[in-house]
Structure 1
């Protein structure tokens, strides 16, 4: 899909779903990473992440366009256009637009097992749980300034 096709698609969705014209620019922004699209308050333009079209298809793209058009039309009318506003949530339901876009397959984070390190003071026996390792030759107990020793490493899934 080219920029001109995207512009035409956004204009069509705006007139069909909202009954109002879209009179600004819609474009693909290849630098977007964590979002499907964005509405720019200053210029009233809409930017779309092309990866969502390539990886999740046209249905997801249509949802993103509707979502951004909700921001667009509400902002121009002087109504609540932010995600937290009731007017925004109501308009999303009316035009069947998603509140959040789907997650890209290459952005899904693989869960790794968490490790917790257990340290103990040799003087006062106070125990410390840490996610990161401590340099025991450099750091001491915060209570009595005694020497710390690593007791064990617990792995959780």
Structure 2
């Protein structure tokens, strides 16, 4: 799907489910990682994550379009357009949009762990972030720490 097809799809969904035209721009934004779409308050444009379409299919993507169009139409009419507002929740339920998009993260992706060992008591310490061993000491005996290796 390219930008023109996306624009046409958003306009069709807006007319079909909201009975109002979409008169701004809809584009794919490759920088979106954790969200399905974004509504811009100043320009009233919509950005969408192409990965949602490629990963979950057209039905899930249309649900994301409905979600963003709820923000769009409520904001332009002066009603509550934020997630917490009852106007938003009601319109989202009426149109059948999703409140949350499915996660794009893989569940089996392991986090990298750094292993440190105390020179005095030989206790092993595991951390997700690397730190400066010159500044920190062992919490048990205040001995010097040495970086062992990193696990994945």
Aligned to 1:78: 78
Aligned to 2:8: 8
Evaluate the alpha carbon distance shift between residue 140 and residue 62 of structure 1 in structure 2; reply closer, same or farther with a 3 A threshold: closer
Bigger-Rg structure (1/2)? 1
Matches within 5 A, 1:1-157: 1-104=1-104, 107-109=105-107, 110=109
Per-residue CA deviations over 1:13-70 (Å, capped at 9, x if unaligned) read: 0011001110100111111111111011110000111111111110111011000000
Tell me how many residue pairs correspond in the alignment.
Answer: 144
Evaluate the alpha carbon distance shift between residue 51 and residue 135 of structure 1 in structure 2; reply closer, same or farther with a 3 A threshold: closer
**CA RMSD across the alignment:** 3.5
Runs of 4+ residues deviating >4 angstroms: 129-142, 146-149
1:136, 1:147 within 8 Å by CA — same for their partners in 2?
A: no
Evaluate the alpha carbon distance shift between residue 18 and residue 147 of structure 1 in structure 2; reply closer, same or farther with a 3 A threshold: same
Shift of 1:148: 9.1
- TM-score, normalised to structure 2, is 0.74
Evaluate the alpha carbon distance shift between residue 3 and residue 111 of structure 1 in structure 2; reply closer, same or farther with a 3 A threshold: same
- TM-score, normalised to structure 1, is 0.71
Unaligned runs of 5+ in 2: 146-152
